[in-house]
Amino acid sequence: QLQLQESGPGLVKPSETLSLTCTVSGGSISSSTYYWGWIRQPPGKGLEWIGIIYYSGSTYYNPSLESRVTISVDTSKNQFSLKLTSVTAADTALYYCARLSSGWPHYFDYWGQGTLVTVSS
Amino acid sequence: QTVVTQEPSFSVSPGGTVTLTCGLSSGSVSINYYPSWYQQTPGQAPRALIYSTNIRSSGVPDRFSGSILGNKAALTITGAQADDESDYYCVLYMGSAIWVFGGGTKLTVL
């Protein structure tokens, strides 16, 4: 059974960089079939798509976040990561990693449980 | 910037039928947006229900169905049950490997 687990600091100071990692177990992140992505949810609010990455390193980002976001992959560790720079309180959210299904059309078929990141001094 | 619209809240009686919709601030939703639907119960990660307008994800009961109604995507729950009380999110594919979530609908079963 595929599992995804987010990890990283739960508290980040304003203007600093948020860094999270998603560890994939029960399947290989190097599979040519899947993309891997990040989605976030501010407390009490809706979901926002952040971006996706292919095992080769190809990335696609939400245009509203693109200038601050970097998603990378480490196939040797079966992990992919999120970096969000210059954070503000508006970046406080539950951050989910997820898998984009194989084939077309894609949808997010497996999700991690999410990790809460608070931006505060 | 295109906004994906959903009803903020909806209620349904146990055993009843409810249709939630997913629209665009400008324009119509068609199958070419490959609408998908997710269910999120409090404290849990979202769960995929429907993708590509009307295909049920693995394990999803057939009382959940998707369609295009007029200029919107729709999620219909037939025979609502107490544990259907959740937040429901639609997602539209905008092209160029970009997805946009709707604001979500809080469904109450009472």
Whether the per-residue pLDDT at A22 is higher than 90: the answer is: yes
Tokens of A61: 């980002």
- The pairing of strands A35-41 and A48-54 is antiparallel
Partner residue opposite B101 with nearest CB, options A48, A105, A113: A48
Assess contact for A90 and A108: CB atoms under 8 A: no
- Residue numbers in B near A115 (CB within 8 A): none
Minimal-distance CA residue of chain A relative to B35: A107
Separation between Cα atoms, residue A10 and residue B25, nearest integer Å? 35
- Side-chain half-sphere CA neighbours of B10 within 13 A: 22
Interface test with A, best of B5, B37, B93, B98 (most A CBs within 10 A): B98
Q: Which pLDDT band, with edges at 50, 70 and 90, does B33 fall under?
A: very high
Contact B45 A113 (CB under 8 A): yes
Residue type, B44: Q
B104 to chain A, any CB pair closer than 8 A? The answer is yes
Average pLDDT, rounded, for chain A: 95
The tokens describing B33, both together, are 């947006």
Q: Which of A53-57, A71-75, A94-98, B72-76 has the lowest mean pLDDT?
A: A53-57
Q: Report CB contact under 8 Å: B46, A111.
A: yes
Q: Residue count of chain A, please give it.
A: 121
pLDDT band at A102 (very low <50, low <70, confident <90, very high): confident
Q: What pLDDT, on the 0 to 100 scale, is given for residue B40? A: 97
CA A99 to chain centre: 10
Measured between beta carbons, the chain B residues lying within 8 angstroms of A46 are: 89, 101-104
Q: Can you tell me which residue has the tokens 């539950």?
A: A94
How far, in Å, CA of B61 to CA of B69, rounded?
21
